[in-house]
């Protein structure tokens, strides 16, 4: 019996046979997340623990066998952080999918990591409560994955990212011990903020087995303003002015000409690309009543002053959702042209137009379509490169464009990832962004908490 067989056997004995998979065909569907650029290896075992005790069992068995663990939620990530490495154990949290508690009086909830974001949103809505983080994959991504990547979404301009909604965690550490971080109170400063250290750590420090989140009151149904601009500079100026006016819309998204054109073709609709529309800005206000009307009125005026060719506001929910559909359809629409590769860069809000024009330059240089969509309200842009997956040469050009965009982001005072994470594709860029002292501190913390490099080695750094 080899060591490998031994580990699978041990896990079968301790977890039950239906929790352990070694069939290569089945395992292959747990090899990758949604980022085609990132390397992915072949696991030796895929395990589906049902509870914290079983996670401890897996961690201890792997630690003893010297086999690395790659924790994984649904695999909707866009950085390769959940990608397997050769010979690893992939630990899938999908069976730990219980909403443990919803406490409306204290506006908090406790969930297991495998709970689907959308299911959780629905469950708390029944109590008149709101869980803000809404990554694009919210209908299939898991709460554990959201915490591990510190996921964002369309909500962030007003409600922040995942870390802003998490009160505490339960984590299984490298030696199999259970750490509880944080608390059930809305404030608390007892000790280091370990909760926020584990959030966004991409599975490199431990396995998250329970999450306590803070909830907000359910906001009002949003009103929506859409504005069309004949230049990205004018759209960028509108975004900057909206920020300067002290407005905090609940959503502020931008689409460039390439995105608009793709959506027009895909949805068979008319958004103005043929008439020189270079950028669409979509804003929502969920402030309700007079406040929302005022907020969107000012936004409409700002857009017009910045040179919008058209600006339109509706307080009809269905119409607003229809307008937003254009934004949500961009990635799917781009599949008309080929395979997409979406980048993730966040710049100061005043530099958005420069980022978009930079992407136009990169597109011209590499000869590939690059569509820019993004969360204008927080400067988080997703330039998306379209290429032919069957052409290694196009893939190489796409890869170069991906990096060129990150360089532009950094040069504008931005970061190489606003919400997707470092994972296995941006390790070099993390080092470029934070420098040698930052990298040293990362390694010191990693070594302190995971001296055997058990958790997700090769991710992040």
Find the shortest distance in angstroms from Cβ 252 to a copy of itself.
Answer: 12
Torsion of CA 139, 144, 148, 151, to 10 degrees: 30
Retrieve residue 350's tokens: 């005043």
Query: Which one of 3, 26, 100, 441 is in contact with a copy of itself (CB under 8 A)?
Result: 441
Instruction: Tell me which residues in 286-325 interact with a copy of itself (CB under 8 A).
Output: 287-291, 294
Report residue 279 as tokens: 């950028």
Q: Is the dihedral of CA 25, 149, 60, 453 positive or negative?
A: positive
Applying the rule CB under 8 A, the residues between 85 and 104 that interact with a copy of itself are 103-104
Residue of 371, 420, 424, 456 interacting with a copy of itself (CB under 8 A): 420
Is 128 near a copy of itself (CB under 8 A)? yes
- Which residue from 449, 429, 424 is spatially nearest to 439, judged by alpha carbons? 429
CB of 57 to a copy of itself, least distance (A): 17
Instruction: Please state whether 402 falls in left (phi above 0), alpha (psi between -120 and 50) or beta.
Output: alpha
Nearer to a copy of itself, 204 or 261 (CB): 204
Cβ-based neighbour number of residue 5 at 10 Å: 12
Nearer to a copy of itself, 54 or 148 (CB): 148
- Least distance from a copy of itself to the Cβ atom of residue 310, Å: 25
Nearer to a copy of itself, 333 or 408 (CB): 408
Neighbours of 453 (CB within 10 A): 14
447 binds a copy of itself (CB under 8 A): yes
Please give the Cα distance from 237 to 246 (Å, whole number): 15
Would you count residue 186 as binding a copy of itself (CB under 8 A)? Answer: yes
Interface with a copy of itself (CB under 8 A), residue total 90
Among 123, 173, 221, 331, binds a copy of itself (CB under 8 A): 173
Interatomic CA distance for residues 249 and 285, integer angstroms: 5
Q: How far is the CB of 222 from a copy of itself (least distance, A)?
A: 15
CA atoms within 13 A on the CB side of 297: 6
Nearer to a copy of itself, 308 or 345 (CB): 345
Piece of 27-35, 53-61, 173-181, 303-311 that binds a copy of itself (CB under 8 A): 173-181
Q: Binding residue for a copy of itself (CB under 8 A) from 32, 72, 158, 375?
A: 375
User: In 374-426, which ranges are continuous DSSP H helix?
Assistant: 392-411
Which element (helix H / strand E) includes 181?
strand 178-182
Q: How far is the CB of 188 from a copy of itself (least distance, A)?
A: 4
Whats the size of the chain, residue-wise? Answer: 461
Report in angstroms how near the CB of residue 202 gets to a copy of itself at its nearest: 9
Q: Indicate whether 199 belongs to the interface with a copy of itself (CB under 8 A).
A: yes
Residues with Cβ < 8 Å from 38, sequence gap 6 or more? 32, 79, 80, 83, 423, 424, 425
Tokens of 402: 């991906």
Q: Which of residues 333-372 bind a copy of itself (CB under 8 A)?
A: 346-350
Residue 40 lies near a copy of itself (rule: CB under 8 A):
no
193 contacts a copy of itself (rule: CB under 8 A): yes
């Amino acid at each position: 019996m080899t060591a490998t067989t031994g580990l699978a056997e041990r896990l079968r004995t301790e977890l039950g046979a239906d929790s352990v998979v070694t069939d290569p065909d089945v395992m292959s569907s747990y090899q990758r997340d949604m980022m085609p650029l990132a390397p992915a290896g072949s696991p030796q075992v895929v395990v589906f623990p049902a509870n914290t005790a079983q996670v401890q069992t897996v961690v201890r068995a792997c630690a003893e066998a010297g086999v690395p663990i790659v924790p994984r939620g649904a695999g909707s990530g866009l950085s390769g952080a959940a990608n397997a490495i050769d010979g690893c154990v992939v630990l899938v949290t999908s069976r730990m999918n219980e909403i443990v508690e919803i406490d409306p009086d204290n506006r908090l909830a406790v969930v297991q990591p495998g709970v689907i974001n959308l299911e959780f949103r629905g469950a708390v809505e029944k109590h008149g409560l709101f869980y803000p983080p809404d990554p694009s994959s919210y209908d299939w991504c898991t709460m554990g994955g959201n915490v591990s990547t510190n996921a964002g979404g369309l909500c962030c301009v007003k409600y922040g990212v995942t870390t802003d909604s998490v009160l505490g965690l339960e984590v299984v550490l490298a030696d199999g011990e259970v750490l509880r971080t944080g608390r059930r109170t809305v404030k608390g400063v007892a000790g280091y903020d370990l909760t926020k250290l584990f959030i966004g750590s991409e599975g490199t420090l431990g396995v998250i087995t329970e999450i306590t989140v803070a909830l907000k009151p359910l906001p009002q149904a949003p009103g929506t303003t859409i504005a069309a601009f004949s230049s990205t500079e004018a759209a960028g100026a509108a975004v900057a002015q909206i920020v300067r006016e002290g407005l905090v819309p609940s959503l502020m998204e931008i689409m460039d000409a390439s995105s608009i054109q793709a959506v027009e073709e895909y949805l068979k609709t008319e958004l103005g690309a043929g008439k020189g529309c270079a950028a669409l800005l979509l804003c929502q206000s969920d402030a309700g009543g007079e406040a929302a009307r005022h907020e969107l009125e000012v936004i409409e005026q700002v857009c017009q002053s910045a040179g919008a060719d058209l600006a339109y506001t509706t307080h009809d929910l269905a119409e607003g959702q229809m307008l937003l559909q254009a934004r949500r359809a961009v990635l799917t629409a781009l599949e008309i042209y080929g395979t997409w590769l979406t980048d993730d860069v966040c710049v100061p809000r005043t530099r958005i137009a420069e980022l978009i024009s930079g992407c136009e330059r990169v597109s011209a240089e590499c000869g590939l379509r690059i569509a820019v969509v993004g969360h204008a309200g927080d400067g988080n842009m997703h330039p998306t490169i379209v290429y032919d997956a069957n052409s290694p040469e196009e893939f190489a050009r796409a890869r170069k464009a991906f990096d060129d965009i990150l360089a532009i982001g950094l040069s504008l005072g931005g970061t190489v990832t606003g919400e997707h994470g470092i994972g296995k594709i941006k390790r070099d860029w993390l080092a470029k962004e934070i420098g040698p002292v930052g990298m040293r501190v990362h390694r010191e913390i990693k070594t302190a908490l995971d001296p055997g490099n058990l958790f997700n080695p090769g991710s992040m750094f």
